[in-house]
Every structure is written in C-alpha cells, then in structure tokens.
Amino acid sequence: MRRRVRIVAQAFDPEAEISIFRRSLEAAGAIVTFTGQVRASSADGHVSSLHLQHYPGMTERGIDAILDEAAQRWPLEAALVIHRVGDMDPFDPIVLVATASAHRRAAFEAADFLMDYLKSRALFWKSETNAAGRIWVEPRAEDYADARRWDDAPGGG
C-alpha cells in the first residue's frame, strides 16, 4: 500500500489533495475521502478559534502504525492522511483521510477505521477558545465507542 502522512501547520486545500491522490492511482476503482472542518459553533456557544497540538515524531509514528494495520486488514492500493495543527478558524479543514481500493467496501471501512483512530487515539490535543475562555476538548463517549468497534473485529476484504 502506498501511503502519505502529513501534519501541517498551514491551511491546506482538501479538493486539491484529493485530486492529486486520485491521479496517483494505478489500479484502484474506489476512492473514499473524509474531510473534517472546524464547526461554526459548539454546544456552549460560538467557537472563535480552535488550536491543535501534536507531539512531533511520536504522533507521526502512531499514524504510520495504524496505516500498517489498515494495510493488513484491507486490500488498499493507497492511503492519505493530512492533519492540521496550530490555530484554526471556523470552516478551516482539520483532517483529510483518503483511501483507495479495487472495490468500495475496503475503502469505506478503512477510511472509517482511520478516522476513529484519529479522533480518539492519535496524539493530538485540541482546545477551543470562545467568549468564555479556552477549554481543552476530549473525545465524546461515542468517539471512544466507535474506536472500540475495531478492537477485535477481523478485517474486511
């Protein structure tokens, strides 16, 4: 499986990255992409900005390891992970995951698996700043439950 992992401190263009990813494929017939962006508002009011931290080196190694696992579980031709760090405003893209396989099921499942890891297990720390101040965000119970779905499930195919 070909792979690319980028942790970026500047804004990125998901549509341009998806186009580059798609054009790089040699055999895959199915491409699944997920883009996450900064919400305009959260439960406790308007989000004025969002900040993401990572642990350079260790964060990338963790994502590499989860891509190894995805490659073992599903027959993927390629996978792409781009994740923002630093300060972001509403509607800025935060994360892009793209997967490509011969048929759709593997690409859907692998993208879902990778996002579950990125939401609740990858080494990122996220804070929101609004009128009330800065709060550090933790994954929701649903995010942890989503990630656990894969813990003892066999791979698709």
Considering only 20, 137, 145, 153, the residue that binds another protein (CB under 8 A) is 137
Question: Burial of 63 by CB count in 10 Å (0-12 exposed, 13-18 middle, 19+ buried)?
Answer: buried
d(C-alpha 66, C-alpha 1), whole Å:
13
Residue 38, interface with another protein (CB under 8 A)? no
Nearest approach in angstroms of CB 117 to another protein is: 9
Q: Which of residues 72 and 125 has its CB atom nearest to another protein in the complex?
A: 125
Buried b (16+ CB within 10 A) or exposed e, 29-44: ebbbbbebebeeeeee
Residue 65, interface with another protein (CB under 8 A)? no
Q: How many residues sit close enough to another protein to count as binding (CB under 8 A)?
A: 26
Residue 95, interface with another protein (CB under 8 A)? yes
Question: Burial of 75 by CB count in 10 Å (0-12 exposed, 13-18 middle, 19+ buried)?
Answer: middle
Binding residues among 111-130 for another protein as defined by CB under 8 A: 115, 118-127
Check: CB of residue 126 under 8 Å from CB of residue 137: yes
Residue 110, interface with another protein (CB under 8 A)? no
Nearest approach in angstroms of CB 5 to another protein is: 13
Nearest approach in angstroms of CB 97 to another protein is: 9
